Amino acid sequence: MSFRLRIFALVVLVAVSAIVATAWLTLSLTTREVTRSQAAEAQHQDRIVQEIREYGLRHGRWPGVDQVVRGLAESTGLHIQLRTPDGTVLTDSDTLEGNTSGPVRGAALTIDPLPALDPTVRPGEPIPVRVGRPFALPADLFGSGPSPGAGPAERALRQAAQYRAALLAVRCMSDNGTAEPVLQTSRAPYLTRQQIQDSPKCVTFGTDKVNRDKVWLTEMVEMLSPCVPGRNDRERIESCLQQSFNRGLSGFAATPLRLFLGFRNTTSIIDLSRPALIGVAGLIVVALIGTAVIARRVSRPVWLLTEASLRLADGKLDVRVPIRGRGELALLSASFNAMAEAVQSSEERQRRLIADIAHEMRTPLSNLRGYLEGLSDGVVDPSRELFVSLHEETLLQRRILDDLQELALAEAGDLTYTRTSFDLAELASTSGTAHRAVAAEAGVELEVDAPGGTWVRADPDRMRQVIGNLLTNAIRYTDDGGHVTLTVRRDKFEAVLIVRDTGVGIALEDQPRVFDRFWRADPARQRATGGSGLGLTIAHRIVTDHGGRIEVTSTPGSGSTFTVRLPLDPWGGS
């Protein structure tokens, strides 16, 4: 898999895991919280209603209910909100804790803080409400009268009066510093025996205030009048009594409230944040590991390459980097190895070249030195032949140096070619003619078979140099009476130039080496004939630079054949 694809896959993997994990976390947390909230609501709803109602009932008003709401929210883990019937928020557990108010469920529960009408209460209970005195009640309205045996309407009136009087009494006690401004009991008669005994003045104060409120008593009687047995069935009477009772007390008791429940903000945030933090930590770990893997995968080959480059620059030419996989980094590693290989072989070539040159120059220079020392010591007689020979030796050295320079230029790619379109056959004929005299001198018959029309696009001077080298060699390594043939012909898309001789030939194992520099089959003969050992190397370079090939086939003792193939010029001659 390519490097880019691997990075892409890893990043996608991390991103997908992050999205999946986030979605899973959100879903599971929401589900959990909803379930928990519903369970808590179901479990605690009755208790919350009961406690708040109890508070309202026993205080007769709502100030101070905040503490109850706060305590309930904490113990139940729910968000509690109380609103008045007109929708105004009376208190909110989230706001009480300094948080923004969280959501609540749509359905509200009504908290009615009015005391329930208690049918078990009988006249004559601790608070003697003297109904009818001084306010006279119609006798037929309450049946047999207000005393023992009083009817349900009278008992309801009495209980309402008791509740109102009890609230007044406890506030009086509170003003006197003997009690909290709260009823000790939520059931009629609302005051304990102890309170009645301890604070008779306050009890009387409350009782009197209620008994003297003729307007209220009249209203109560009017409201309770329709709730008479005999006229309605029992259920209707009870409902009628309760409604009248409530209406009668509505001006003195706490107002009914609407209770809303929901998710508790503070606890939930802490609860939510814990698994969310775990999730985030997990994601960070995954991201870190993923990044580390990517970083390692990226940096390791790069690091290896950097180290190898430094070592290469340091002269360690045999340094190579391992190639793993087939991605871009593997390609880069392979390129580096190829470069290192090229640098190393170039270095070796250079070293060999210097060694070859040194070796090549040493023998003739030693000869020259020997003869010059002999001449100066008078050991050797100065003769014309000797000077001619020494002159030839220096000429050979000069030729070697010229060839070397040319080869160096060719190998560096600096040999300039002036390409034109010309007929290779014609060039071959001219070269053949030029070598005819040398061939004749060597007793070798030179034959040229180049019918013409073989157009190539090349540098004619360099091609003449190649043909000249091949012909010189052919004549040089062919004995007296031998035969050299120069042929030029077309072969499909190539121009083929062949130099064939009937000379000494080249041993099979030496044939691949003829194009190596300074290689000679027989150094003694070559030196005698004045060859530099570089001619074929240069010829090979020139031909390959023209997009062609040069090959040799030879049979020792029978002769050699050098074949040059060059691409034909399709527009040549036109």
Identity at 547, one-letter amino acid code: G
Dihedral angle, C-alpha 46, 51, 57, 63, nearest 10 °: -130
DSSP class of residue 517 equals T
The encoded tokens of residue 1 equal 């898999």
- Note whether 423 and 454 are within 8 A (CB): yes
Tell me how far apart the alpha carbons of residues 252 and 245 are, in angstroms, rounded to a whole number.
12
Taking CB under 6 A as the rule, does residue 486 contact ligand ADP?
no
- We find the least distance from the C-beta atom of residue 515 to ligand ADP, in angstroms, to be 8
Using CB under 6 A as the binding rule, whether residue 533 contacts ligand ADP is answered as yes
Shorter beta-carbon distance to ligand ADP: residue 232 or 397: 397
Q: Is 466 in the site for ligand ADP (CB under 6 A)?
A: no
- Of the two residues 488 and 536, which places its CB atom closer to ligand ADP in the complex? 536
460 belongs to the binding site for ligand ADP (CB under 6 A) = no
* C-beta closer to ligand ADP: residue 382 or 481: 481
CA–CA dist 335, 539 (Å, integer): 30
Residue type, 403: D
Specify the amino acid at residue 154: E
Q: Decide if residue 244 touches ligand ADP (CB under 6 A).
A: no
Q: Does 521 interact with ligand ADP (rule: CB under 6 A)? A: yes
Strand pairing class (494-501; 483-491):
antiparallel
Q: Output the smallest distance, CB 506 to ligand ADP, in A.
A: 5
For residue 450, the SS3 value is coil
- Nearest approach in angstroms of CB 420 to ligand ADP is 26
The residue sitting closest to ligand ADP, measured at its beta carbon, is 531
Cα 131 from Cα 15, distance rounded (Å): 81
C-alpha to C-alpha distance for 129 and 113, rounded to whole angstroms: 22
Interhelix angle 234-249/152-175, rounded to 10 degrees, is 30
Stretch that binds ligand ADP, among 91-99, 131-139, 233-241, 521-529 (CB under 6 A): 521-529
Q: In the set 223, 477, 488, 497, which binds ligand ADP (CB under 6 A)?
A: 477
Segment contacting ligand ADP by CB under 6 A, of 35-43, 67-75, 350-358, 533-541: 533-541
Stretch that binds ligand ADP, among 27-35, 36-44, 324-332, 528-536 (CB under 6 A): 528-536
Neighbours of 513 (CB within 10 A): 13
Q: Using CB under 6 A, which of the segments 126-134, 335-343, 446-454, 499-507 binds ligand ADP?
A: 499-507
Instruction: Find the helix or strand (DSSP H, E) in which 287 lies.
Output: helix 265-313
**Contact between 550 and ligand ADP (CB under 6 A)?**
no
Binding segment (CB under 6 A) for ligand ADP, from list 166-174, 265-273, 434-442, 512-520: 512-520
Cβ count within 10 A of residue 187? 12
Stretch that binds ligand ADP, among 203-211, 293-301, 371-379, 470-478 (CB under 6 A): 470-478
Q: Does 536 bind ligand ADP (CB under 6 A)?
A: yes
Which two three-digit tokens encode residue 56? Answer: 């309202």
The interface with ligand ADP within residues 245-264 (CB under 6 A) comprises none
CB closer to ligand ADP out of 155 and 541? 541
Is 232 one of the binding residues for ligand ADP (CB under 6 A)?
no
CB of 516 to ligand ADP, least distance (A): 8
Closer Cβ to ligand ADP, 454 or 472, answer by number: 472
Q: How far is the CB of 520 from ligand ADP (least distance, A)?
A: 3
> Cα(341)–Cα(335) distance, rounded to whole angstroms?
10
> Which residues are registered as beta bridge partners of 198?
none
Q: Does 473 bind ligand ADP (CB under 6 A)?
A: yes
| Residue in 159, 469, 485, 487 binding ligand ADP, rule: CB under 6 A | 469
Angle at 333 between CA 328 and CA 334, to 5 degrees: 95
Query: Are the C-beta atoms of 562 and 499 separated by less than 8 Å?
Result: yes
Which is nearest to 78 in space by CA: 104, 100, 111? 104
Q: Under the criterion CB under 6 A, does residue 474 sit at the interface with ligand ADP?
A: yes
Smallest separation, CB 521 to ligand ADP (Å): 3
Instruction: Name the one range near ligand ADP by CB under 6 A: 9-17, 222-230, 363-371, 472-480.
Output: 472-480
* Residue 482 structure tokens: 């031998």
The answer for residues whose C-beta is within 8 angstroms of residue 553's C-beta and 6 or more apart is 511, 560, 561, 563
DSSP code of 116?
P
Q: How many residues bind ligand ADP (CB under 6 A)?
A: 23
Task: Find, among 335, 336, 272, the residue nearest to 310 by Cα.
Answer: 336
Contact footprint for ligand ADP (CB under 6 A)? 469, 473-474, 477, 501, 503-506, 514, 519-522, 526, 531-537, 560
